[in-house]
Structure 1
């Protein structure tokens, strides 16, 4: 399955999702009983952490009216306008390692991160 070229069918800022991350998220969506053709992964930025901002992710039944919607490998990703200012150009990946497995955001806008990598500053 391929990834869409642009959000909402138009050119603009991008959020990428790797195939591994999309597969993991779709599996979790399915286990929650959510319809992946409507529901999706919400990626957002919130105040918190030792560097000032942190990422948040959750599943939403449907997008909000002002969300930018990205579709990658069948996964819909919803991003609100305020969060887009901090995370445009980011790549969401799923990593496994000695410290466990989980989703990771590679954000080109970050100027510094805390030591554990859970929070950031732009």
Structure 2
């Protein structure tokens, strides 16, 4: 099943590196979801295990867990990893932001 989200090459490298460096068990994957309400919510990223409410996708060899209740809100999202003057971290962007 094709993932509804995209991971950039930098994000995939960083995710793999984090999983290996911290010896995180392979039952864990990247959780992508929403915190708060659908319209005013913020994106949630983290390492987690699957629950009964999740849909599991494979992006290459990376497990991605998305709560089925959040699925319609994260379709088309792109996860990147950026390093800048203010530090490094994951960024989440939607198609609307990319095109504007």
TM-score, normalisation: structure 2: 0.79
Segments of structure 1 that go 5 or more residues without pairing to the other structure are 8-13, 111-122
TM-fit CA distance, 1:100: 1.7
Q: Distance in 1 between matches of 2:20 and 2:87?
A: 22
Q: How many equivalent residue pairs?
A: 96
Match of residue 56 from structure 1: 44
Q: Which runs of 5+ in 2 are unaligned?
A: none
Out of 15, 19, 22, the residue aligned to residue 29 of structure 1 is 19
> Which whole-Å deviations, capped at 9, do the CAs of 1:52-82 have from their partners, x for residues lacking one?
211112211x322332222224211111012
Partner residue in 2 for 1:95? 82
RMSD over aligned Cα atoms = 2.2
More strand as a share of residues: 2
Larger Rg: 1
Matches of 1:65 and 1:40, distance apart in 2: 15
| Runs of 4+ with deviation above 6 angstroms | none
